[in-house]
Amino acid sequence: MDPRQRYLETLLFGRPDRVPLDPGYGRKSTRQAWHEQGLPAEIDDGGHIAEYAYRLNGGVLDWPQGGEDFPVNTRMIPEFEEAVLERGERTQIVRDWKGNVCEISLEYSPVYLRNAIDFVTRRWIKCPVESRADWEDMKWRYDAGDPARYPADAAERGRRLKDRSWPIAVNISGPFWQLREWLGFENLCMLFKDDPAFVKEMIAFWGDFVAQVLTNALRYTTSDEVHLSEDMAFKSFSMISPAMTREFLLPTYQRWGEIIRAAGVPLYGMDSDGYIGQLIPIWMEAGINVCDPIEVAAGNDLVAFRKQFGRRMAYKGGVDKRAMADGGAVIENEIKRLRTVIDNGGYIPSCDHGVPPDVSWPNFVRYTGLLVRATGWL
């Protein structure tokens, strides 16, 4: 099987020749630590690191090769100008590309807030939408018809990608995620109670925008997955109640799901940190059929989820990063715990978030070796 076939067969509960090998990737601080612990300095890309760890474990099969994708940009256009507004002895006040003002360590720059370069702690000071006037001034930045949101060669690229051998995905922000980026977490949660009509107005705007973007993009190519970023759960509970999730968010999930299925996209994915057990039934009702990263420390138990939800939901992630850091018998028992889910299908085991720097390079190699055997690569 090629990588695309293997990916789809696994997550759609088919019969893959082996499960995709995806141990997870470390951010900058993790890779720096690994380079000091034995990872060659010239190997710094996540995919190359995973392949190197695979080879160290005796891997001989061809490593999956990717290719071009079909990028879709749902970020605001234009973005806010990134800037350092004030410097202190140890921290700085910065404005990020989304218009947030926050305090971060001097070791980082505003660029670190643009993408997940590293684990950056921040103190929020001001969010871009603090009034209805701010909201009205934000909306013009989201024009679904802006050609900059799609590849310049969209039609030709779609034709090139038709017979691809690797999976591609369209990544979008869910409504909870997007409103939090505009309003800030506390302000959003208060607004659900103080002005629910305003929340629904913003969700409707985002739902319309993403629906049009998806329609525009999927007319050129059939993606293998549309993947939502939502991050709407704490440890043990969701950030808003299941009832509120059903009232405010489910209609948007369902609307997008109809577009996705009509375009022939087989996977409708959801990413959320925290405990998602309360949310999975709602997501399934929306047609979502795969989710990640299944953080163990938040109380997620894949073995229990599989018993409860059966094959109506597939998963990616779910390997406890704390067990990876402990290594030895602890990580061995963690992979044994997950073996029944791996063998049952609909699951690609991986780290349950970005690999943190307390996972040593020797332990990462050892953990990768356990995955190599559990997923059929050796």
In angstroms, the CA 367 to CA 351 distance is 10
Over residues 114-128, mean pLDDT: 92
State whether 33 and 110 are in the same domain: no
Q: What is the pLDDT of residues 35-74, one digit of tens each?
A: 999 999 999 998 999 999 999 999 999 999 899 999 999 9
Same domain? For 60 and 182 the reply is yes
For residue 270, give both structure tokens. Answer: 């959801």
315 sits in which H/E element: strand 314-319
Is residue 116 predicted with pLDDT exceeding 90?
Answer: no
Residue 148 scores a pLDDT above 90 = yes
d(CA 137, CA 374): 52
Instruction: Assess whether pLDDT exceeds 90 at residue 304.
Output: yes
Q: Which residues form the domain of 61?
A: 3-75+129-374
CATH number, domain with residue 225: 3.20.20.210
Are 166 and 246 within one domain? yes
Segment 151-173 mean pLDDT: 97
- Tokens at residue 99, please? 């218009």
Measured N-to-C along each axis, helices 185-194 and 175-183 cross at an angle, to the nearest 10 degrees, of 110
Helix (H, G, I), strand (E, B) or coil at 154: helix
Q: Is 163 exposed, middle or buried (0-12, 13-18, 19+ CB in 10 A)?
A: exposed
Mean of the pLDDT values across residues 78-96? 96
Total count of domains within the chain: 2
Do 100 and 8 sit in the same domain of this protein?
no
Q: List, in order, residues 6 or more apart from 101 with CB less than 8 Å away.
A: 85, 93, 94, 95, 124, 125, 126
What tens digit of pLDDT does each residue of 207-235 get?
999 999 999 999 999 999 999 999 999 99
pLDDT (0 to 100) of residue 348: 98
- Residue 310 above 90 pLDDT? yes
pLDDT recorded at residue 80: 96
Per-residue pLDDT at 322: 98
Report the percent of the chain where pLDDT is more than 90: 97
Cα separation, 366 vs 265, in Å, equals: 36
Asked if 92 and 201 sit in the same domain, the reply is no
Q: Which two tokens stand for residue 298?
A: 């938040």
Residue 170's contacts (CB-CB under 8 Å, 6 or more residues apart) are: 70, 72, 214, 217, 218, 223, 225, 226, 227
53, 63: one domain: yes
Site of tokens 């044994």: 336
The DSSP code sequence of 245-268 is IIIIIHHHHHHHHHHHHHTT--EE
Looking at the DSSP bridge assignments, the partners of residue 84 are 94
Nearest residue to 105 (alpha-carbon basis) of 82, 128, 132, 123: 123
What percent of the chain is modeled with pLDDT above 70? 100
Q: What is the mean pLDDT of residues 263-291?
A: 98
Task: Provide the mean pLDDT of the chain.
Answer: 97
Block residue for tokens 């018998």: 329
Higher pLDDT, 6 or 116: 6
In this structure, are 204 and 92 located in the same domain?
no
Residues 45 and 82: their CA atoms lie apart, in Å, by: 26
pLDDT digits (tens, 9 = 90+) for 167-187: 999 999 999 999 999 999 999
Q: How confident is the model at residue 115 (pLDDT cuts 50, 70, 90)?
A: confident
The percent helix, strand, coil of the chain (3-state, each to 5) is: 45, 15, 40
Report DSSP state, residue 367. H
Element (H, E) at 348: strand 347-351
Structure tokens at 141: 């930045």
Residues 23 and 86 in one domain: no
Regarding whether 114 and 241 lie in a shared domain, the answer is: no
Residue 11 and residue 92 in one domain = no
CB 327 within 8 A of CB 364: no
Residue range 362-377: average pLDDT?
A: 98
DSSP strand pairing (91-95 vs 83-87)? antiparallel
**Torsion, Cα of 30, 176, 193, 240 (10° steps):** -60
In this structure, are 155 and 298 located in the same domain? yes
Q: Are 343 and 317 in contact (CB under 8 A)?
A: no
Bond into 78 cis (ω within 30): yes
pLDDT exceeds cutoff 90 at 272: yes
For the entire predicted model, the pTM comes to 0.96
Looking at the fold, whether 235 and 149 belong to one and the same domain comes out as yes
